[in-house]
A and B are shown apart, each in its own frame.
Chain A
Amino acid sequence: MDTKVNTLRQFFRQPNRGYLIREIARLAGVNHVTARKHIREYLKEGMIVKKAAAPYPVFSANTSSKKYLNLKLCHNLELIRESGLVERLEREYDYPVIVLFGSFAKAIDDEASDVDICIISNVDKAMDLSSYERVLGRKISIHKFTRKTWETAKRKNPGLVNGIANGIVLSGQLEVV
Chain B
Amino acid sequence: MRFQEGIEERQAKRVPPDVIKAKSLIVSSEQAIATAARIPNEPTTRKSIVRELYEGLRQYCEAIGLIHGYKFATHEIITAFLEDVLKEPRSAARFDRYRKLRNGINYYGDDVSPETVNEALTEIPTIIKHLSNHTKSKPS
Interface residues of A (CB under 8 A from B): 90-91, 94-95, 121-125, 147, 172-173, 175
Known: A173-B89, A173-B93, A175-B90. A122 touches B115 (CB 8 A): yes
- The reply to whether A94 and B113 form a contact with Cβ atoms under 8 Å apart is yes
- The reply to whether B89 and A94 form a contact with Cβ atoms under 8 Å apart is no
- Looking at the assembled complex, report how far the CB atom of A133 sits from the nearest CB atom of chain B, in whole angstroms: 24
Residues 101-135 of chain B: 1 if any A CB is under 8 Å from the residue's CB, otherwise 0?
10010001010110110110000000000000000
CB-defined contacts of B89 to chain A, threshold 8 Å: 173
CB-defined contacts of A91 to chain B, threshold 8 Å: 104, 108, 110
B100 at the interface (CB under 8 A from A): yes
- Looking at the assembled complex, report how far the CB atom of A50 sits from the nearest CB atom of chain B, in whole angstroms: 47
B2 at the interface (CB under 8 A from A): no
- The reply to whether A123 and B115 form a contact with Cβ atoms under 8 Å apart is yes
Q: Chain B contact residues (Cβ within 8 angstroms of A): what range?
A: 10 to 19
B97 at the interface (CB under 8 A from A): yes
CB-defined contacts of B112 to chain A, threshold 8 Å: 94
- The reply to whether B104 and A123 form a contact with Cβ atoms under 8 Å apart is no
- Looking at the assembled complex, report how far the CB atom of A122 sits from the nearest CB atom of chain B, in whole angstroms: 4
Could you pull out 22 A-B pairs where Cβ atoms are within 8 angstroms?
A: A90-B100, A91-B104, A91-B108, A91-B110, A94-B112, A94-B113, A94-B116, A95-B97, A95-B101, A121-B115, A122-B115, A122-B116, A122-B118, A123-B115, A123-B116, A124-B113, A124-B115, A125-B113, A147-B119, A172-B97, A173-B90, A173-B93
- The reply to whether A95 and B100 form a contact with Cβ atoms under 8 Å apart is yes
Known: A173-B93, A175-B90. A122 touches B119 (CB 8 A): yes
CA distance A141 to B85 in the complex (A): 38
- Looking at the assembled complex, report how far the CB atom of A176 sits from the nearest CB atom of chain B, in whole angstroms: 12
CA distance A123 to B120 in the complex (A): 12
CB-defined contacts of A172 to chain B, threshold 8 Å: 93, 97
